[in-house]
Amino acid sequence: MLSESFMKHLFSLIGCSLLIIACKKSGTISPVTPPSADSFTVTVNNGYGSGKYKAGDTVHIFSKAYPSSQVFGSWSGNNVSLLNAPEEWHTWFIMPQKDVAFSGSVQNIQSFTLNFENIRGRDRMKRVYYYFPAGHKGIVYLLHGTGGSAAFLVADYEWQLLINDLVNEKFAVIVTESEESTTNSDLNGDGVLRWNTAPWDTITNVDYANIRIITDTFYNRGLAGRAEPKYSIGMSNGGNFSTALSTIYNYKAGVSYCAPAGTPIAQITNTPLQFCMARFDNNPNVGSAGNANALNNSRLMTGRGICSKYFIKERSPLYPERFARRGDISTSQSTAVFNEIKKSGLLDTKNYFIGYSDALRSAMDANPSAFPQLNSLSFPQQNFVMTQIDLAVSDHKMYSDFNRATIQFLNKQCQ
């Protein structure tokens, strides 16, 4: 006869077995099948970035190249709300769990040519490029970086795109250069040629004085009115000068690219300032610390009740047609250069460039035969390739990725 304790033990084992069976059975009713890798499709019309992606991926899309007679319009599509900046030629989004499609548009602009002449500054003639569209709504000064000049700025493709956008928005543009650039001499002994932000004096500081005198020249010619708003946009050292210049002359707004300005400016300025930084800025005077300072200065201004905005450009993958943007490198040449770079192991599996552009220079020097197409390009074309890599990496370069954000800031500040 079975004991009572044995029977209790037997029933306990049977119950556990049934429970295990039931759990196993219930676990097979609704299996969870994760989406396969790269299972959703992005289609980009009139642009680049089409492909297969996983949900949660960061996807970059780019407009097709367009001539100087056009500017980028906008992105359209049923999923345009996903885009970080649907009005910029290059934007990004987080891939949803579905296929998406976008179409880029461009628009024609009225043709124009920058005027050039030497205009008298405080001490000497200054090189000046300018254009005043009919019915312009304000004057924008464009300011080069360390070692730059007026001629270098207007020859730079990213600046050209911004100039086209500004003129199309009915802004007048004036480009001149630092006194050190004009004289090719280091006037303050800091070892470089650039704008001098100190002293904060519109009489003794020749750079501030030159801006005032050149502007007066255009007033006296009747090309602009003294009451119309003025703005400044600068890159690197020109960005720091932009924040100081717009503060001293009480401009309506100032924009700094790849320069954090200084805490003293953020503490006293009443001029709205926008900061456009680069995530992987490799300039020793900026870098991650400079990006953080720019953000802190923007927040300091906002805390004081002064309008300020902060943007930072992220890195993006290369695409085969990237080097054909300007038009002097064909699409087939661009694709061949892209393939040479990829074959040399300088791109990761998602076509992000590994390191900085000097890695490509080193690879070319070490093995020239691996880059027949790149070596066949002219020196200016090779420099353009390197610049496009700098931009994709998000290094210390003037960029056009936030042109519309900058123009919106000039138009409305923080409204």
pLDDT recorded at residue 30:
39
- pTM greater than the 0.85 cutoff: yes
pLDDT of 195 above 80: yes
- Sign of the torsion angle spanned by Cα atoms 384, 285, 91, 93: positive
Q: Decide: 366 and 359 in contact? Cβ < 8 Å.
A: no
Overall average pLDDT of the 355-377 stretch: 98
Overall average pLDDT of the 368-388 stretch: 98
Q: How far is CA 244 from the centre of its chain?
A: 22
Structure tokens at 332: 């087939």
Structure tokens at 356: 């900085």
pLDDT of 369 above 70: yes
Cβ neighbours for 339, distance < 8 A, ≥ 6 positions apart: 320
pLDDT of 22 above 80: no
pLDDT of 118 above 90: yes
pLDDT of 20 above 60: no
CA separation for the pair 320, 247 (Å, rounded)? 43
Element (H, E) at 101: strand 100-108
Other beta carbons less than 10 A from residue 72's beta carbon: 23
Cα distances (Å, whole numbers) of residue 47 to 76, 82, 101:
12, 17, 11
Overall average pLDDT of the 115-143 stretch: 98
* Omega within 30 of 0 (cis) for the link into 31: no
Q: What is the mean pLDDT of the chain?
A: 92
Secondary structure of residue 276 in the 3-state scheme: strand
Q: What is the pLDDT of residues 84-112, one digit of tens each?
A: 999 999 999 999 999 999 999 999 999 99
Q: What is the pLDDT of residues 217-267, one digit of tens each?
A: 999 999 999 999 999 999 999 999 999 999 999 999 999 999 999 999 999
pLDDT recorded at residue 358:
97
Q: What is the pLDDT of residues 396-415, one digit of tens each?
A: 999 999 999 999 999 999 99
CA separation for the pair 345, 362 (Å, rounded)? 13
CA separation for the pair 36, 153 (Å, rounded)? 48
